Structure 1
C-alpha cells in the first residue's frame, strides 16, 4: 500500500503510541462532533458507538487517519445487517490533506504534466476506508 504524504508520523493501530497517545483525544473529538450534529444520526446514542470503536482499534485508527488528513468523520447511520456504525467524512470542503489527487492509479499514471502526488483510491485503502458511491454522496 502507498503511504499518505504528511508531516505527521503515521502510526498503525498496533503501535503503542497510537493506543496510548491518540485514542482518548480522538474519542473526545468524535463524541463532541456527534453531540453537535445530532441531525446526522437521529435515534443513535454515543455510548454504543464508543463501545464499538473501543472494541475495534482498527476502525478507530481509520477515523484517526481521516482526522489527520483534515477530515471530519461523523456517524451517519447504523447497519443492522452488519451491526456496524456508518461514518462519513462530513467536512464542508475537501480536506486539505486530500486535495489535488486523481481518482485512481491509472489516471495518476496517465498525467504527463502537473502530476498529483497520489490518487483517491490508494489513499482510501491506506486509511482502511472506502470512497462513497454517487448514491451515498447525494
Structure 2
C-alpha cells in the first residue's frame, strides 16, 4: 500500500507541494490503522492521496452516529466524510466530480429533518445541493478523509 501511495504522491505533487514523501511515510508508519483504512479505500475503487494536513486536527464525531448509507459505509471503511470546507479545498487543487457528486457532512438540524448535503463541480464551479438523506443516485458517492 505504501508503494501505491508513494507513486500517487509523486504523480500528484500539485496536491501537496508543501509536503515531502518521507514526512508522509513517517506519519503513515506511525499510524498503521490509517494505512489499513487507505488500503480499504483503494480496494473500494477510491484513489487515496494526500492534499495536506489539518493543523487543528478535527476531533471525532462520536455524538453523531451514522444514520445513512454513506455515513455507514464511511464508518465501515474507517474514514470521515468530507465537510464542505474540505471538499472546496480539494476542488481548489484540481477538478473532481465532473460527472458525479459526493455526499458531504451535513449539519444536525438538516439531518434531523431527513435532509443531506452533497457537492459537485460543473461549469468550473463547485455547487452544494440538498436532497433527502435516503436518496440514491448511482453517480453519487462520498469523499472521505482520515487524520494521521
Match of 2:19 among 35, 44, 58: 44
Q: CA RMSD in A?
A: 1.6
- Say whether the 8 Å CA contact 2:37–2:79 is kept in structure 1: yes
Q: Distance between the aligned counterparts of 2:73 and 2:9, measured in 1? A: 25
**Greater helix proportion:** 1
Tell me the matched-pair count. 80
Q: Distance between the aligned counterparts of 1:137 and 1:59, measured in 2? A: 20
Helix, strand or coil at the partner of 2:81: coil
Shift of 1:45: 0.2
Residue 126 (1) aligns with residue 90 (2): no
Match of 2:41 among 52, 66, 78: 66
Q: Mind listing any 5+ residue stretches in structure 2 that lack a counterpart?
A: 58-65, 89-148
Residue-by-residue CA offset, 1:67-111 (whole Å, 9 max, x unaligned): 0100001000122344xxxxxxxxxxxxxxxxxxxx943xxxxxx
TM-score normalised by L of structure 1: 0.54
Residue-by-residue CA offset, 1:40-59 (whole Å, 9 max, x unaligned): 00120000111111111110
**Greater strand proportion:** 2
Q: Mind listing any 5+ residue stretches in structure 1 that lack a counterpart?
A: 1-25, 83-102, 106-118
TM-score normalised by L of structure 2: 0.51
> What does residue range 1-138 of structure 1 map to in structure 2 within 5 Å?
26-82=1-57, 104-105=67-68, 119-138=69-88
